[in-house]
Amino acid sequence: MLKKNRYIIVVLILLSTPLLFSSQIRYFDYSNYTRFVVETGKKVNFKIDEERFSYTISIQPIIEIVPKKIVSRRIKNIEITKENDKLEIKILLKKNFCFKLKAFTLKNPFRIVLDVYDSSNCSSINGKLKKSKEDFSEKNQKVIHQEFNGGKQQIRYIVIDPGHGGSEYGAVGPSGVMEKDVVLNIAKYLKREIESKLGLKVILTRSRDINLSLEERAQIANNSKADIFISIHCNASRNKKARGSETFILSLKATDNSARRTAYFENNPQAKEYKDENDTITFILWDLAQSAFLKESALLAELVQKELNLLLHTKDRGIKQAPFRVLTNVSMPAILVETAFLSNPDEEKMLKDPKFQKKIAYAIFLGLKRYIEIVSSK
Amino acid sequence: MNTKEQKIKIAFVVFGIVIVFFAIGIWVSSKFLKSKPQMQLHKRTALSQEEFVEKVRYTLFLPSKKRNFLIPVQIEVAKFDSEAENIKTLLQKLMNMKAEDSYFSPFPENIKLLDIFITKSRVLVLNFSNEILMNKFSGSNDEIFTVFSIVNSIIYNFPDIKSVKFLVEGREIETLYGHIDMRFPLRFSSGWVKNN
């Protein structure tokens, strides 16, 4: 009986071997894009071809792929075919949307990543990915990556984060105007300005009235490899007379992260290493990453604040530093703009007005434009 | 005889009056003699309590009404032997501060301080009731002032406390109102403080 069981186990192991060593397909739906990942395990040559409603990843040499049923907001289905010495994964997109593609690779383990973004401009999709079908070299993959990212431009992607959303109203003015609505409008106006006048790609962390965690906002910025992160907010105070605009950059001077680590060991005397969802080491790395961008963030904040002062004629509350959660985990120059005070009845009226919202968006746009000019000329 | 009987009657009456007065005298004197020392003792106790209660002066940092800063405000409260009791007293005082001409109260109303403890590494952990999150319609300005009013007031008056960590109903929080990172303990921040 025991011997029979052993045979069954061996047969099962042999049958499952291809699955153990085969590659994996994963996908994740985010608010404004879907990430499609092929984990090959080892480094492979690959190429991506684009058609109107599909992307085809050609991989050489052939690897084992476990077929997967797709239930995605943007992806309709996938087709896997083996032809000669290459494997083709065709990603069929849903036809009622327009998409933009950003592709890159990640290491350890080797992964091919395709981010399929929502796009308002359907004409821009076609004709961007013209590549040779023969060459599978690594050099060419880098070229492809560059093409996806917009060529030689230093600043390519900008992430705009309208604060709060969904059940998180943010500040609410005396007459009921909500921060989440005002900042979403400003973010949309700003996106339109940047895309139409600078030709850069803008990703909104949320384009609708939805709940989005602060961590997800940072992830969207990092995953899309954004070059600039701008979070837009309205301020509020118990002091109804408080008014004006201010721009924040991150400061972790007031944050005692070593204390958290020590406290962990105090509470877990048996622990040999610090393990936590919000790992201190990760936090320190993000801190270092953000410190590396401190100069750029300060420059961007200064230029944006200057334009806000000039255009809005609101009280200049200057540039400040604080440990803002949304700025903690982003690895790029990042600012948080407090446009005006919703708690002040006069400023609430102004913030409610679409003309004023457009003015704010334009002021941020001018500051951003000046920043890009300075950074690009270096 | 008549005169003799009259004399005896008068003597009895006088004797009776004397006894009545004597009795009244005893009753009055006994009453005065008992109550007087009691009052004196009471007075003395009150005086001794006032004389021996040690007071301590703390500096609280409260949001200014005129400017966008925390301003120092002096208070005087009873001093206790235990550090934790002194911190609790300071926090209760901070929570009960009513808005004055020059400053606002830093807290939303009806907040309860559930518990405090100090770790070996001198991090003060404050556990508040859910009400501290109820002011969620506030902006970053309010959040900064609530957080750093507490942190600065504690660390300024108790320099041995290294940093302050916030819990709500025993749970860690990411932010109070969606802005300031509260996952880690916070230190004194001088950037928000100015003399009025």
Rounded to the nearest angstrom, the minimum Cα separation between B169 and chain A is 18
More confident residue, B1 or A286: A286
Give percent of chain B with pLDDT exceeding 90.
47
In this complex, the residue of B137, B141, B191 whose CB is nearest that of residue A235 is B141
Chain segment B99-142, per-residue pLDDT in tens: 888 898 888 878 899 999 999 889 999 999 998 888 755 789 88
Helices (H), chain A: 2-21, 138-148, 179-197, 214-223, 257-267, 280-292, 294-312, 325-328, 345-352, 354-377
Residue A193 has pLDDT above 80, yes or no: yes
Chain segment A207-252, per-residue pLDDT in tens: 999 999 999 999 999 988 899 999 999 999 888 888 999 999 998 7
Chain segment A40-64, per-residue pLDDT in tens: 877 888 888 877 678 888 888 877 7
Q: How far, CA to CA in Å, does A85 sit from each of A22, A134, A281?
A: 16, 13, 44
Residue B159 has pLDDT above 60, yes or no: yes
* Average pLDDT score over residue span A343-351: 95
Q: pLDDT grade, residue B44 (50/70/90)? A: very low
The pLDDT value given to residue A152: 39
> Which of A10-19, B22-31, B53-62 has the lowest average pLDDT?
A10-19
Chain segment A100-114, per-residue pLDDT in tens: 788 888 887 888 888
Q: What are the residues of chain B with a beta carbon less than 8 Å away from any beta carbon of chain A? A: 63, 65, 68, 104-105, 119-121, 123, 136-142, 144-145, 148, 151, 162-163, 165, 174-175, 178-189, 191
More confident residue, A10 or A66: A66
Chain segment A86-140, per-residue pLDDT in tens: 888 888 887 656 677 888 888 878 888 888 887 655 433 333 333 333 333 333 3
Mean pLDDT of chain B: 83
Among chain A residues, CA nearest to B175 = A325
Which residues on chain A are in Cβ contact (under 8 Å) with B191?
251, 320-321
Beta strands in A23-85 (DSSP E): 24-29, 33-41, 45-51, 54-60, 75-83
A61 preceded by a cis bond (ω within 30 of 0): yes
Which residues on chain A are in Cβ contact (under 8 Å) with B119?
259, 262-263, 266
Contact A233 B139 (CB under 8 A): yes
The pLDDT value given to residue A23: 65
Distance between CA atoms of residues B149 and B63, nearest Å: 7
The pLDDT value given to residue B14: 86
- Name which of B195, B165, B43 is nearest A262 in CA terms: B165
The pLDDT value given to residue A262: 52
Residue A16, exposed/middle/buried by CB under 10 A (0-12, 13-18, 19+)? exposed
Chain segment A284-330, per-residue pLDDT in tens: 666 666 667 888 999 999 999 999 998 888 888 889 989 999 998 88
Chain segment A157-181, per-residue pLDDT in tens: 999 999 999 999 999 999 999 999 9
More confident residue, B122 or B33: B122
In this complex, the residue of A237, A255, A283 whose CB is nearest that of residue B139 is A237
The pLDDT value given to residue B74: 93
Rounded to the nearest angstrom, the minimum Cα separation between A159 and chain B is 18
Phi, psi of A157 (to 5 degrees): -120, 135
Chain segment B180-192, per-residue pLDDT in tens: 999 989 999 888 8
Q: Which amino acid is at B111?
A: I
Q: Which amino acid is at A7?
A: Y
Residue A368 has pLDDT above 90, yes or no: yes
> Which of A145-159, B55-69, B148-162 has the lowest average pLDDT?
A145-159
